[in-house]
A and B are shown apart, each in its own frame.
Chain A
Amino acid sequence: MNIIYLIRAVAFNSFFESVRNRFFTLFAVFAFTAVYASLLAGVMAVDQEARVLADFGLALIELTALAYALFSASSALLKEAETKTIYLVFSRPVPRWAYLAGKLAGALLTAALMLIVMGGIHLSLLAFRDFGLPDCYAWALAGTFLKLAVIISFAFFVSLFSTSAVSTLVISSVMWTLGHFAAETRFLAEQAPGLKGAAFKILLWLIPNLQIFNARDSAGAACALGPAVFFSAAAWVAASYLAALWMLSRKEF
């Protein structure tokens, strides 16, 4: 059996299921909020409207995509188990690793489409207000995608041992928040004495540094994400995938 074909089948099924579900409702919410925010920004930001609109829009894109990605990743496997759809999958010659890879690929594909469409809406709005393409825009979206990839794969792993989609959502959100405080945790690890410092150092190994994916934090040409950033994302995705696979291969349905 062609494994790539199998992974593609699971990925596209997962992707189209997302598209059929709550996908476009979120786009509408995003578009409405972006338009409304642009009006507010116009009033409040005065001469900084372009900057505010760009940053606000990118933050909104990230949060909207994150919310959807976490909801979808937290419930994807659980829903298939609850509806017994998974019986129809695993009673077939589908290796569990291929199924998991397909589900993950489907979730990443959904996240990528969300970013592209919301980015398009955002840029249209900027163009409508006669603002040009913000600096590092594509890199900012790429960084957001890498962040989403890390947190989606982590959510898949958590969903395999947590008792509900809500607890997966909470744990993954905590991880996402902690990931934005990696520099502060590193500082604490260096400053704290003895056991406390050691605990913070261990924590640094268990939390992905999501700050490195914020392309627009660096000014000018340096905003391009380096190979180390892509490698870091790939390593976290791979680690979460392998941990999830370890859980899934032992799971009974």
Chain B
Amino acid sequence: MTVPAVLFTDVEKTYKRPRLLGAEYHAALKGLSFEIKAGEVTGLLGLNGAGKTTIMKLITGLLFPTAGIVRVFGHSPADSAAKARVGFLPELPYFPPQIKPGEALFYYGRLSGMAGAELAPAVDSSMEKTGLKPHAGKRISEFSKGMLQRLGLAQALLHKPELLVLDEPVSGLDPLAIHDIRALLAGLNSEGRAIFISSHSISEAEKLCSRVLIMVRGSLAATVTREHWESSPGGLEKIFVEAVK
């Protein structure tokens, strides 16, 4: 049996906010269980505060679950073995404005354990795939939002991860940039990479994903397959609206 790319079992995440007297607790995820198969494109839909970013951060080891088990390719997300197989694009990634994209990618490549003869071709390939090569001579301060997002994707792709975790990858982009990024993600999936996308855009999820998880206030309200929404009148949008109402 193939090990799933991501496995959540009864996961809970509660944030603690210290107050003058005691603390305030907020349950971001409650009893969440799902899995993402290797090579699959899975979407994550939900309103603001539904727990989408929390899920992404749990997968990438930036947060620790309060209860339950998270596994990435059978490992704890904090393990190097798991992290080496995951590429992460946070929402609105930041890069130092004074440097060139290649310099940023060299740094993140080194952090991914790449060195010497392996590093330069990986940087080159990432820039090629994301269409950044013609802009290699520019400083990041000259980049548009779409180009920054491409750079974010390029750093996530550097170490050829088997799972891409993308938090709002097309947020705030113009239609052409969205089209390009969608084509890029489709190409990456055809190479066998699993992609997990959090998005506010139902139409994007419809175009890219084979399955969508709908989150409502920290719980999984529905898991919808492409076959399901394609055969439903009103499509994914109607299913989503009914789930979150």
A interface residues, Cβ below 8 angstroms from B? 1-2, 5-6, 9-10, 13, 17, 20, 83-85, 87-95, 252-253
Whether A91 and B93, one on each chain, are in contact in the complex, defined by CB atoms closer than 8 angstroms, is: no
B interface residues, Cβ below 8 angstroms from A? 57, 60-64, 80-81, 83-84, 86, 88, 90-96, 98-99, 107-108, 110-113, 115, 155, 159, 165
Whether B94 and A93, one on each chain, are in contact in the complex, defined by CB atoms closer than 8 angstroms, is: no
The dominant DSSP class at the B interface is: loop
Whether A92 and B108, one on each chain, are in contact in the complex, defined by CB atoms closer than 8 angstroms, is: yes
Which residues of the other chain, A, contact B108 by a CB distance below 8 angstroms?
88, 92
With known contacts A9-B107, A252-B63, A91–B86 Cβ distance under 8 A: yes
Which residues of the other chain, A, contact B91 by a CB distance below 8 angstroms?
84
Whether A253 and B94, one on each chain, are in contact in the complex, defined by CB atoms closer than 8 angstroms, is: no
For the complex, give the distance between the alpha carbons of A87 and B83 in Å.
12
Whether A252 and B60, one on each chain, are in contact in the complex, defined by CB atoms closer than 8 angstroms, is: no
Whether A92 and B112, one on each chain, are in contact in the complex, defined by CB atoms closer than 8 angstroms, is: yes
Whether A84 and B93, one on each chain, are in contact in the complex, defined by CB atoms closer than 8 angstroms, is: yes
Whether B80 and A252, one on each chain, are in contact in the complex, defined by CB atoms closer than 8 angstroms, is: no
Which residues of the other chain, B, contact A91 by a CB distance below 8 angstroms?
60-62, 83, 86, 88, 165
Which residues of the other chain, A, contact B60 by a CB distance below 8 angstroms?
87, 90-91
With known contacts A13-B107, A87-B60, A87-B90, A93–B96 Cβ distance under 8 A: no
Query: Closest CB-CB distance, A75 to chain B, in whole Å?
Result: 14
Whether B83 and A88, one on each chain, are in contact in the complex, defined by CB atoms closer than 8 angstroms, is: no
For the complex, give the distance between the alpha carbons of A1 and B113 in Å.
6
- Given A91-B61, A92-B159, A93-B84, 6 more pairs with CB closer than 8 A: A6-B110, A20-B96, A88-B155, A91-B60, A91-B165, A93-B113
Whether B94 and A5, one on each chain, are in contact in the complex, defined by CB atoms closer than 8 angstroms, is: no
For the complex, give the distance between the alpha carbons of A1 and B112 in Å.
9
Whether A85 and B94, one on each chain, are in contact in the complex, defined by CB atoms closer than 8 angstroms, is: yes
Q: What are the 3 closest A-B residue pairs judged by CB atoms, nearest first? A: A93-B80, A83-B94, A9-B110
Whether B61 and A90, one on each chain, are in contact in the complex, defined by CB atoms closer than 8 angstroms, is: yes
